[in-house]
Chain A
Amino acid sequence: MQAAFPVTPSGIPPAYTPLTGQVSTLGAVHHEPSTTVIDSELFIRKTFDEDPKKGCELLFRLYYRPLCTLAVRFVYAKDVAEDLVADVFYTLWNTRAYESITQSYRAYLFRCVQNRAYKYLASELKNMDSLEAASQQETSASDLPEPIMRYEELCHKVEELVAGLPPQCQKIFILNRFEGRTAPDIARELQLSVRTVEVQIARALTVLRHGLRTHWLLAGLCLLFL
């Protein structure tokens, strides 16, 4: 997965560090994962009680970046991933969803982002019919591990499909989609014709679309038989 990107382990937001410390100490005392998880967000929860705005800000500081990197594994575009995550936070604020979150905020936000990424991919690939059925199913089966497994499978599938692209095609695709650069821009940098770049982008998209559609059809079929 990381082969395609520069790996930067320095991406840890400073705000997270003190909390990590808290997690480890509490974990040592309790040995029970659930209490540890709830407790690690106790501070945020208290903040929400006093000032929801502050609470949202804290969550944003803490989770925005990891959520973006999570989303980008699905959508393979920085700007899309960032918009998507920001939108989750805006919705959190608008609907006051934070008031009714009973598990950890972290689990909630991760689920939200995965779900949105999933839906985004579906609509992007114009595969609505089979996916709509899938997303309907997943609301009803929220507690089961299948959705989690499916998110993971989808994310791996995307990676697999991108990794399987011919080198040139893959490079152009990543510049275009992941970095969000235009075809003429890429053509200038790689000293290719705009037409070639466009063809390569189209080819990559076709491969992805086709691969994901098959993946989804299979997933959809599995759901039918569940």
Chain B
Amino acid sequence: MISPINREMIFDFYANKTTTLQKRLIEEWLREEANQELYYQWKLEWELQFPPYVPPLEEPLQQFIQYMEASPLSLNPAEAVVNDLPEPARGVNRWYWLVACSVLVVGLTTWLMRNQIIYKTYQTSAGEQQAIYLADGSTVTLHSRSSLRVPRWSFGRKSREVTLEGEANFSVTHTIDHLPFIVKTARQLDVVVLGTEFTLSARQNTAKVVLKKGKVQLRYLENKVPKQVVMKPGDLVTLDQRNHADVKTASEADAYDFQKSRRFVFDEMTLADVAVLLQRSYDLEITIKGTELPRRVLMGSFKANNIDELLQTLSELLDINVVREGRTVQMAEKEAN
């Protein structure tokens, strides 16, 4: 490519006699490393041709030589690497920096993101439930406002460890090599399982475990003393804030208690969306009659101790008829009287 850049134009540039378009050309031309060299060579020539004054040379030179003699080079080059380079670091140096910085950035990111990289986290918002199928065949139903952290890579190979915050139903499969399934919580309580079905709730102040089938072992710290409880099916273990365990046989109602005093938050959801949510959470079959009704929008937070209370609330709120018969629920506009 023939470049229109020549010494004259660059000299004009130094003297601020170039047009904007020429400056653009020069800028483009300067992208070439070799041209930058040439640029400075011409700059030197220009400075020599048109100096604004004549600086003294001999005196500062003698001072410099004296200085060099007075402070001989440090023999340790590592010391000298201290980069006081005031200018944009270039060449080899710059590459060192670039590599060092990238390594640092990658390292830092990995370190900061280590949880995201090592673990996969499932999270539910208020009123949401999520079914999780783990690699070993176990299933977890994560209740509202809970999170479950599962190792991304090693799960099911050497151990089966998950971390729960909040509340979930576990249905744990038994493996041929009797690999224990361990649920860790943030409150010094671990549940060790060998294939079973149970519900664990580990919120801030209390933790509860209800065992449906099989056998689980609770390991926890009470006043920093490690303790263990082995649960039988039907047992309900409640741990208070200080991790004091209370074992009792759970009734069916207690299993439902987990859902107790739940807060339902609907953020501009249509009734149809709400129905889907309830169907998933409570194993109900909900039918909404009419075309207008499913599109009505709900907003706000409702407190209900159980599904009947919630349905009641919905009925009052929307002024509709809600009829529940076992697992089927029907919603319909009130007949106009």
Closest to B55 in A: A68
Chain A residues closer than 8 Å to B39, beta-carbon distance: 148
Chain A binder among B76-84, B126-134, B151-159, B318-326: B76-84
Q: In the complex, are the beta carbons of B83 and A95 less than 8 A apart?
A: yes
Chain A binder among B43-51, B171-179, B213-221, B289-297: B43-51
> A142's contact among B14, B34, B74, B90, by CB below 8 Å, is which?
B90
Q: How far is the CB of A41 from chain B (nearest CB, A)?
A: 10
Given A63-B44, A106-B40, A148-B39, A95 and B80 contact (CB-CB distance below 8 Å):
yes
Closest to A113 in B: B87
Q: In the complex, are the beta carbons of A142 and B40 less than 8 A apart?
A: no
User: CA separation between A106 and B36, bound complex, in Å?
Assistant: 11
Chain B binder among A83-91, A123-131, A191-199: A83-91
Q: How far is the CB of B105 from chain A (nearest CB, A)?
A: 13
Chain B residues closer than 8 Å to A210, beta-carbon distance: none
Chain A residues closer than 8 Å to B90, beta-carbon distance: 101-103, 108, 111, 142-143
Q: Is there a chain B Cβ closer than 8 Å to A46's Cβ?
A: no
Q: How far is the CB of B318 from chain A (nearest CB, A)?
A: 52
Chain B residues closer than 8 Å to A81, beta-carbon distance: 55
Q: In the complex, are the beta carbons of B86 and A88 less than 8 A apart?
A: yes
Q: Is there a chain B Cβ closer than 8 Å to A209's Cβ?
A: no
Q: How far is the CB of A61 from chain B (nearest CB, A)?
A: 6
User: CA separation between A52 and B80, bound complex, in Å?
Assistant: 14
Chain B binder among A11-19, A182-190, A212-220: A11-19
Binary contact readout A1-19 vs B (1 if CB under 8 angstroms, 0 otherwise): 1101111111111001000
Q: In the complex, are the beta carbons of A110 and B57 less than 8 A apart?
A: no
Closest to B88 in A: A142
Q: From DSSP, what is the main secondary structure of chain B's interface residues?
A: helix
Chain B residues closer than 8 Å to A53, beta-carbon distance: 65, 68-69
Q: Is there a chain B Cβ closer than 8 Å to A47's Cβ?
A: no
Q: Is there a chain A Cβ closer than 8 Å to B64's Cβ?
A: yes
User: CA separation between A220 and B50, bound complex, in Å?
Assistant: 31
Chain A residues closer than 8 Å to B29, beta-carbon distance: 145
User: CA separation between A159 and B16, bound complex, in Å?
Assistant: 10
Given A66-B47, A103-B90, A156-B16, A33 and B23 contact (CB-CB distance below 8 Å):
no
From residue 50 to 76 of chain A, which have CB atoms closer than 8 A to chain B?
Answer: 52-53, 56-57, 60-61, 63-70, 72-73
Q: Is there a chain A Cβ closer than 8 Å to B67's Cβ?
A: yes
Closest to B29 in A: A145
Q: How far is the CB of B292 from chain A (nearest CB, A)?
A: 51
Q: In the complex, are the beta carbons of B92 and A100 less than 8 A apart?
A: yes
Total interface residues on B, using CB and 8 Å? Answer: 60
Q: How far is the CB of A75 from chain B (nearest CB, A)?
A: 11
Given A37-B38, A60-B64, A107-B37, A65 and B51 contact (CB-CB distance below 8 Å):
yes
Q: In the complex, are the beta carbons of B40 and A110 less than 8 A apart?
A: yes
Q: In the complex, are the beta carbons of B88 and A115 less than 8 A apart?
A: yes
Q: How far is the CB of A125 from chain B (nearest CB, A)?
A: 18
Q: Is there a chain A Cβ closer than 8 Å to B27's Cβ?
A: yes
User: CA separation between A1 and B51, bound complex, in Å?
Assistant: 10
Q: In the complex, are the beta carbons of B86 and A66 less than 8 A apart?
A: no
Chain B residues closer than 8 Å to A40, beta-carbon distance: 41
Chain B residues closer than 8 Å to A70, beta-carbon distance: 43, 47
> A1's contact among B15, B36, B44, B60, by CB below 8 Å, is which?
B15
Of all A-B residue pairs in the complex, the 6 with the closest CB atoms, nearest first, are: A142-B88, A102-B91, A145-B30, A66-B47, A34-B34, A68-B55
A sample of 15 cross-chain residue pairs with beta-carbon separation below 8 angstroms, ordered by A number, consists of A11-B54, A34-B33, A56-B68, A68-B55, A69-B47, A86-B63, A90-B67, A91-B85, A102-B90, A107-B36, A142-B90, A145-B27, A145-B28, A146-B27, A149-B23
